[in-house]
Amino acid sequence: MIPELWICIFSAIFFYVYGAKLPEPEVKIEVLYKPFLCHRKTKYGDILLVHYDGFLESNGTMFHSSRHHGDKNPVWFTLGIREVIKGWDKGLQNMCAGEKRKLTIPPVLAYGKEGKGKIPPESTLVFDIEVIEIRNGPRSHESFQEMDLNDDWKLSRAEVKEYLRKEFLKHGYAANDTHHEVMVEDIFKKEDEDNDGFISSREFTYQHDEL
């Protein structure tokens, strides 16, 4: 029996007998450029603006580029909440604005057995990615402090509602009390884990497994 088959059989037996979770493949990270000055580094919950070029590792074909396809603008997304493939969430942590990386992402952290569009099933992907801007996301401590008007380290419904009102006005939308109240109730239903009527700093910033 060939060694590779023995490895597969042993892994399957170990998983079945001991209920072990096999280690997840890693993203290969190559730093292409890093600025001398770095005022902050990316973390889960941050909103990132990036440019990227995506290639199939198998033949080097470019399947998409923010610089050359579509409107040719960089893209915004929130790091760590599955807005993008898991390989990006893993590979774009601890980056500086202006930094460039090459990520080699295995299929299980990309589009897996299904593939997507021009990406065949079980494809390893290579991305050249530049982080252009980093902003505080909704899960950051900075955002929590901005919302916590009385500095008691917990958010009331009134504080969350006031924050939503300001955000709507900031982006040119009229405040809508009824709509905001519905949004507040939905937020508290999801975030107020101990049902005490407040969202604590831990409840606000804690990264759930599903994120």
Q: Taking residues 55-80, what's their average pLDDT?
A: 92
What would the CATH number be for the domain defined by 141-205? 1.10.238.10
- Domain 28-136, classified CATH 3.10.50.40, yes or no: yes
* pLDDT single digits (tens) 155-174: 999 998 888 888 778 767 77
> Does residue 208 register a pLDDT over 50?
no
The average confidence (pLDDT) of the chain is 83
**SS3 letters across 129-151:** EEEEEEECCCCCHHHHHHHCCCC
* Measured distance CA(45)–CA(89) in Å, rounded: 10
Tokens of 93: 């942590």
> Does residue 140 register a pLDDT over 80?
no
- pLDDT confidence of 99, banded at 50, 70, 90? very high
- pLDDT confidence of 153, banded at 50, 70, 90? confident
* pLDDT single digits (tens) 25-35: 899 999 999 99
Q: Taking residues 179-189, what's their average pLDDT?
A: 82
* Measured distance CA(33)–CA(176) in Å, rounded: 45
Is the whole-model pTM more than 0.95? no
Q: Taking residues 37-64, what's their average pLDDT?
A: 93
| 108 or 44, greater pLDDT | 108
Q: Taking residues 130-140, what's their average pLDDT?
A: 81
Q: What is the CA radius of gyration of the chain?
A: 21
To which H or E segment does residue 54 belong?
Answer: strand 47-56
- Cβ-contact 130, 50 below 8 angstroms: yes
Show me where the domains of the chain are located. 28-136, 141-205
pLDDT computed for residue 13 by the predictor: 47
